[in-house]
Structure 1
Amino acid sequence: MDVMSPQLMWIGTRCYRVNQVSEQQRYQEYEQQDENKPYVEEDLFEEDDRELEYDIQIGEGGKFQTSFHVPSIFFAMIIGAKGATRRRMELETKTQIIVPKQGSEGDILVKGTFRRAVTSCRQRIELIVLGARSRQQFTHFLSIPLNSDQIKQNYKKFRVKVLTELPSAFNLDDSLFQKVDKLHLTLCTMSLMDNDDRSRAAQLLQDCREMIIGPILANFGSVEIRLRGLEYMNDDPRAVDVLYASVESEALQQIADQVMEYFVENGLLQKKYDRVKLHVTLINSLFRDNAEGDGGDDRRGSRVTFDATEILREFGHYDFGLQKVTEIHLSQRYSTACDGFYEATGLVKL
């Protein structure tokens, strides 16, 4: 690990440094600890902001307890090799962690004599789950369908011009272009591992309509975006993976940033950037020879970069047009609805 640039992980409004220690090393450290004098990490905060957010009750024997949903795919990460991770957390926080048997469904239960200890243990479990979730391939994404006639027609013209007017410059194949019916603006991606995850994400999106989108609309009246100009994801225009259109909209930028923060605070996203990069994928090297070919889906095929020099020179300031934003979708990856766009697990109207 680069000590000058450590890996960071956000839980709610707090940022944690991730220590790169193997599970075997953790287990050895745990075995060497004196069980009568367990190591307890120093608490740098006098009060815990998230404690009030948790539903912590008093159960049998007067102990504090909290139960919360975790997709069963992450149970093994919470338990750890030979149960080492769970035992370490129990020892350090002086709590008891009850995990449903592998293959079964149910909530994680944390019990302890002190409310603060239960809160601390739950936070540690959430860190583990968030880290494990971030390593999964994304299953859903918040999107804005780009279905205005102006944008769709201008995109079709752009594709034809690129393929017919510059054929000798970079040897692009039509399969690398995004499908017209699936043109979209991506706000963020997430890994939703079960029905509870999907229901929760859909509800969070509904919450955003009242808490975030409504107040911003009150200031701007409506949200209109303009697609103009081309950008690429890497440093060399001769070896490009993804070519995308730039998005201009101050209102949408505010909505996207605050919605992302809300999903981060609720544990479904890991914060990586301060602002959402508003962009619309037009050409993606992963689409090559992919029958699905939709929006970055990399179910099969591998990246083969392409030379975008001529495209950027000829169409770098291409204006795809305007569109008023009327919906935000929670879209399901690898899906197609009856209108040609992605299946929506949830959506909100603007």
Structure 2
Amino acid sequence: MIFYQSNKTQNFIFFLAMVGLEKSFDFVLFLLFMSHVVCFVGLTVYLGLRVDVFNRNRGSEKSAMDGYKKQKMVGASLIKFIRGKEGTTQMKLEEEMGVKIILPSSRNKDHISIEGGSVDCVTKASKRIATIIDEVVRSPSLDYSHFVSLPLAIHPELVDKLVNFQNSILGIHSIASDKQDDQANRATTSVAVDLKANSETNQVNVGIKSIPIVSYPPKAKSKSSTLLDLGIEKSIFIKPSTFHLTVVMLKLWNKDRVNAACDVLKSIFPSVMDALDNKPVFIRLKGLDCMRGPLDKTRVLYAPVEEIGDEGRLLRACRILDFIITDAFVKAGLVLEKDAKQSLKLHVTVMNARHRKRRKNNKKKMETFDAREIHKQFGNEDWGEYLIQEAHLSQRFVFDQNGYYRCCGSIPFPGEQRA
């Protein structure tokens, strides 16, 4: 009896255990299901956030180390302004923005990298750098990099005349003759001397045959030193191989802006042809004049441009050309407002004091030169008549094989010859 009761008790306990196990198994399945649901929801939310971050911060990427990294095109000529004197500007930006700015080691690179702990600080640093660039571009600190020119150096006869002009001013031939005269003077003023050695005392007796008694006048000042006193030297002459007319000056500090300028120039080609009436443009260069100020304190000496004919087509065409190019470049953001307001003055620069090379012994360059004698001699010089063949997007300080400024883009002018 006792055995029977214990057996029933065991069966009941086993039954309860089986029921509990089944419920536990269902509970485990429920937990597994819920965990999958939570993971799916979490993954969806995470991916949604990542997509949103990517859309709001395109161009930023997760850094391999920590935070975010963004590359920004700046332009090689602007890197030094972001670095600052002895790196002060860069260090200040890094400290204030909580980022690390990596500047390119090569002068040919025009990208910088900005790394930070968050997208927000990287974005703020990028905007701050953009502000610095805008301030620099609007200031005289950044020189013009390009300009639209009308090349004249393509005419060999003009180049020859300008070379002769420079040689005559610098006195290259007279300097050579001065050297020959000096050599002749040294030869005629040499003194004959007899050297006689005493064999016993090994002393040398000097016997002077004849020493003419003459008085030498003080040596006249050389032409080169006189030119320097006037502030005239070779470096301020414009190279004949780069002679041109300037239409508008540009600051294009990266490849994107250069490409944009090329596109603008090509896009206005039909308008330029209409402005020129599809006829060739001929000019005459005559005389020399000073750009503002007196001749004895000249900064820029230039050859004025005259129109051939009385119809006024050149002046009208050039004004329209200037307006079309300048207006198009202003709309593209490639010309500063102050440059757009300047009126076009067609001229060919012959000498520019700004190009003067600084000498080691001079702390400051001379800003002017005395052009009175040059003007007296060449003030009415007829340099000739020439055809304008193209408008040229020229890069300053860089030259092609022909010696002219590097061509970034060009549009042709009507090339018919006069009857």
TM-score (norm 1): 0.58
Supply the distance in 2 between the matched residues of 1:325 and 1:128 (Cα, whole angstroms). Answer: 40
> 1:12-51 maps to which residues of 2 (within 5 A)?
none
Aligned to 2:292: 234
Identity %: 28
SS at match of 2:405: coil
Query: Does the C-alpha gap of structure 1 residues 172 and 328 become closer, same or farther in structure 2, counting only changes over 3 Å?
Result: same
CA deviation string 1:92-137 (max 9, x = no partner):
xxxxxxxxx987679xxxxxxxxxxxxxxxxxxx999765423221
Higher helix share: 2
Distance 2:289 2:278 in 1: 27
SS at match of 1:185: strand
**Aligned residue for 2:402?**
339
Question: Shift in Å at residue 200 of structure 1?
Answer: 0.3
Deviation track 1:275-296 (CA, whole Å, cap 9, x = no partner) reads: 21212111122333489xxxxx
Structure 1 CA distance for aligned equivalents of residues 102 and 164 of structure 2: 53
Distance in 2, matches of 1:222 and 1:328, equals 13
2:346 pairs with 1:287: no
Offset at 1:214? Answer: 1.6
Residue 411 of structure 2 aligns to a residue whose secondary structure is: strand
Relative distance call for 1:254 and 1:201 in structure 2 (3 A) is same
In the alignment, the residues of structure 1 paired with residue 156 and residue 147 of structure 2 have an alpha-carbon distance, to the nearest angstrom, of 24
Partner of 2:250: 190
Q: Deviations over 1:259-312 (max 9, x none)?
A: 122212221112333421212111122333489xxxxxxxxx834421011222
Contact 2:235 2:357 in 1 (8 A): yes
What's the secondary structure of 2:408's corresponding residue?
strand
Match of 2:147 among 118, 141, 150: 141
Kindly state the Cα deviation for residue 239 of structure 1 after the two structures are TM-superposed: 1.3
1:275 has 2:356 as partner? no
Spell out the pairing of 1:45-194 with structure 2 (5 A cutoff).
71=74, 132-135=136-139, 136-146=142-152, 147-164=154-171, 170=230, 172-194=232-254
Deviation (angstroms), 1:235: 1.0
Question: Is the 8 Å Cα contact of residues 231 and 368 (structure 2) preserved in structure 1?
Answer: no
**Residue of structure 1 in register with 2:325 after alignment:** 259
Whether the 8 Å CA contact 2:73–2:254 is kept in 1: the answer is no
Farther-moved stretch of structure 1 (126-135 vs 244-253): 126-135
1:328 matched to which residue of 2? Answer: 391
Report SS of the residue matched to 1:324. strand
Report the Cα offset of residue 258 of structure 1.
2.6
Question: Residue 111 of structure 1 corresponds to which residue in structure 2?
Answer: none
Question: What is the Cα-based RMSD across aligned positions, in Å?
Answer: 4.2
Secondary structure (helix, strand or coil) at the match of 1:286 reads helix
Q: 1:260 to 1:288 in 2, by over 3 A?
A: same
Structure with bigger RCO (C-alpha 8 Å, 6+ apart): 1
8 A Cα contact 2:73 2:112, kept in partner: no
Letter in structure 1 aligned against 2:138: S
Give 1:202 deviation, angstroms: 0.8
Counterpart Cα distance in 2 of 1:220 and 1:288: 41
- Superposition deviation, residue 186 in structure 1: 1.4
> SS at the partner of 2:337?
coil
Q: Is the 8 A contact 1:233 1:243 kept in 2?
A: yes
Do the aligned partners of 1:150 and 1:322 also contact (CA within 8 Å) in 2? no
The Cα shift of 1:197 comes to: 0.6
Relative to structure 1, the CA distance from residue 171 to residue 71 in structure 2 (aligned partners, 3 Å threshold; closer, same or farther) is: closer
The residue type equivalent to 2:272 in the other structure is I
Shift, 1:240, TM fit: 1.3
SS for the counterpart of 1:306 is coil
SS of the equivalent of 1:305 reads coil
Distance 2:252 2:280 in 1: 30
Q: Is the 8 A contact 1:151 1:321 kept in 2?
A: yes
Q: In structure 2, how many angstroms separate the alpha carbons of the residues matched to 1:304 and 1:220?
A: 42
**Contact 1:257–1:276 under 8 Å retained in 2:** no
* 1:238 Cα deviation after fit: 0.8
Structure 1 residues 130 and 207: CA distance shift in structure 2, 3 A: farther
Q: Whose Rg is larger?
A: 2
Partner of 2:275: 216
Distance 1:129 1:173 in 2: 36
The residue that corresponds to 1:311 in the other structure is 374
Specify whether residues 326 and 175 from structure 1 end up closer, same or farther in structure 2 by C-alpha distance, changes over 3 A only.
same
How many Å separate the matches in 2 of 1:317 and 1:158? Answer: 13
Residue type at the aligned position of 1:256: D
Post-superposition offset of 1:215: 0.9
Aligned amino acid, residue 162 of structure 1: I
Contact 2:298 2:370 in 1 (8 A): yes
